[in-house]
Amino acid sequence: MSHGKIITLSSGAPLPQIGLGTWLSKPNEVENSVEIAVRNGYRHLDLAMIYENQDEVGRALKKVIPSVVKREELFITSKLWNSSHKPENVEKELDETLKLLGLEYLDLYLIHWPVAFPPGGFFPPHPTKKNEVAIDTETSLVDTWKAVIELLKTGKVKAIGVSNFTIEHIQGIVDATGVWPTVNQVEAHPLLPQDDLVEFAKKHNIHLTAYSPLGNNLIGQTKLVDYPEVKEVADKIGATPAQVLIAWGVYRGYSVIPKSVHEERIKSNFQQITLSKEDYEKIFAIGKNRHTRFNIPVTYDPKWDINVFNEPIERTATHKVKIA
Ligand SMILES: NC(=O)c1ccc[n+]([C@@H]2O[C@H](COP(=O)([O-])OP(=O)(O)OC[C@H]3O[C@@H](n4cnc5c(N)ncnc54)[C@H](OP(=O)(O)O)[C@@H]3O)[C@@H](O)[C@H]2O)c1
């Protein structure tokens, strides 16, 4: 069975270019999705502590390892949540993830977001402000990155990286430690092509993984799969709109991690098709002059001047991240 195109990371590890996303799968859905995916050739799984379903993923893994795949044939990514950024909590959360999954190691461990919350629940409430999350303004990204680097010595992670980091964030942690992240996982699709990050990543041999490749419509906008341009290309080449969007990310060199809990979609999303330059450009044009970000982490107090994305998007929470 073909397992799709493989990318080689700067760590030397092979990464299957299409993986399965697991966020927002309802209880009892993700166990089934992961099992179906692995039985149908997926070897790359994208997980996170905050998805609160790693126990279910662990149950699925028990069903497929070793009867369908050997552990070493899978590429499993998970992510450190914001409330475990304090250096003393980093390995603790990794251990909890490994326990939930029933695994000895992860192939890739990412800092999920470039913002720290104080310990105490996934979204510790702000001490005084209703509907706002508390921010840990003491722990810097460099503090956390140093603790993540230490994990490499434990053998519990094969490679380390970041997620939702801007160029400034990456430059900050590298200047302080000399250690480059292997991967930056970011939202990327035709409405948010991330050209500046692509160029930076290429220069420094960082691999970009594209999340929300179908443009998860959390903010109630038209789903990218329903855009006429996407449908038109799909009809022309006899593919599904989702396959066109996944191929668009593949064309740009990303690994792409669409999420689905439906068997037919899980299977068809994995059938890698190739876009011609002309079709790629037609889809690229969708985002011209109307960039949209679908994933905004939480509500921060604008007065704290937090700008997680370092860009002037209206909906972006503002918060000056403590890098060093
Ligand atoms: N690092 C981060 O901060 C971060 C943030 C967001 C996401 N992620 C990761 O990236 C993964 C993917 O992103 P995402 O879940 O936000 O969005 P996505 O994969 O772009 O879109 C998922 C949505 O598309 C639907 N879908 C899947 N296949 C389809 C198809 N063939 N045709 C039509 N609709 C289809 C799914 O519904 P059904 O399930 O009902 O099929 C779901 O509603 C996540 O699951 C997670 O692993 C990471």
Residue among 51, 227, 254, 300 flagged as catalytic: 51
Rounded to whole angstroms, how far apart are CA atoms 112 and 51?
11
Token pair 């370092």 is at which residue? 310
Least confident of 81-95, 107-121, 226-240, 309-323: 309-323
What is the rounded CA–CA span in Å between residue 306 and residue 112?
Answer: 16
Q: State the helix-helix crossing angle for 87-101 and 54-64, rounded to 10 degrees.
A: 40
pLDDT, tens digit, 9 for 90 and up, residues 28-56: 899 999 999 999 999 999 999 999 999 99
* Index of the ligand 1 atom closest to the CA of residue 218: 16
Pocket of ligand 1 (CB under 6 A): 21-24, 46, 112, 163-164, 185, 211-216, 225, 240, 242, 257-262, 265, 268-269, 295
| Among 249, 257, 248, CA closest to 276 | 248
Average pLDDT, the chain: 89
Nearest CA to ligand 1 atom 10: 211
End-to-end CA distance of the chain: 47
Find the 217 Cα to ligand 1 centroid distance in Å.
Answer: 9
- CA 269 to ligand 1: nearest atom: 31
Sequence-distant (≥ 6) Cβ neighbours of residue 67 within 8 angstroms: none
The preferred substitution site among 40, 211, 264, 267 for testing ligand 1, maximizing ligand atoms within 8 Å of CB, is: 211
| Residues 21-28, mean pLDDT to the nearest whole number | 88
| One-letter amino acid for residue 241 of the chain | P
Top mean pLDDT of 120-129, 176-185, 191-200 is at 176-185
Q: Is the pLDDT score of 223 beyond 50?
A: yes
Ligand 1 atom closest to residue 79's alpha carbon, by position in its atom list: 1
Q: Indicate the pLDDT class of residue 264, thresholds 50, 70 and 90.
A: very high
pLDDT of residue 219: 63
289 vs 296: which has the higher pLDDT:
289
pLDDT grade for 301, boundaries at 50, 70 and 90: very low
Q: Which bin fits 107, alpha (ψ -120 to 50), beta or left (φ > 0)?
A: alpha
pLDDT value at residue 40: 97
Higher pLDDT, 293 or 237: 237
CB-based burial label for 80 (10 Å; 0-12, 13-18, 19+): buried
Report, in angstroms and rounded to the nearest whole number, the Rg of the chain calculated over CA atoms: 19
Share of the chain above pLDDT 90, in %: 74
Pocket test for ligand 1, best of 18, 22, 23 (most atoms within 8 A of CB): 23
Q: Tell me the two tokens of residue 173.
A: 């942690």
What local confidence, expressed as pLDDT, does residue 307 receive? 47
Protein residue with its CA nearest to atom 43 in ligand 1: 216
CATH number attached to the domain at 6-319: 3.20.20.100
More confidently predicted of 157 and 288: 157
Is residue 26 very low, low, confident or very high in pLDDT (cuts 50, 70, 90)?
A: confident
Residue 139 Cα to ligand 1 middle (Å)? 31
Contact 281, 27 (CB under 8 A): no
Task: Give pLDDT, residue 300.
Answer: 44
User: Residue 309's pLDDT is what?
Assistant: 53
Higher pLDDT, 38 or 166: 38
Q: Give the model's pLDDT for residue 308.
A: 52
Of the pLDDT bands very low, low, confident and very high (cuts 50, 70, 90), residue 304 is very low
Protein residue closest via CA to atom 4 of ligand 1 = 211
- At residue 218, the pLDDT reads 63
Residues 6+ apart with CB under 8 A from 186: 163, 164, 165, 194, 197, 208, 209, 210, 211
- Report d(CA 272, CA 111) in Å as an integer: 29
Q: How far is the CA of 305 from the centre of ligand 1 (A)?
A: 30
* Dihedral, 17, 207, 83, 318 alpha carbons, nearest 10: -110
Task: Please give the pLDDT value at position 195.
Answer: 93
At 86-144, the pLDDT tens digits run: 999 999 999 999 999 999 999 999 999 988 999 988 988 878 877 778 888 889 999 99
Mutate to test the pocket of ligand 1, among 36, 259, 293 (most ligand atoms within 8 A of CB): 259
| Ligand 1 atom nearest 22 alpha carbon | 45
Is-catalytic flag, 51? Answer: yes
Give the model confidence (pLDDT) of 266-276 as tens digits: 999 999 999 99
Q: CB neighbours of 129 closer than 8 A, spacing ≥ 6?
A: 301
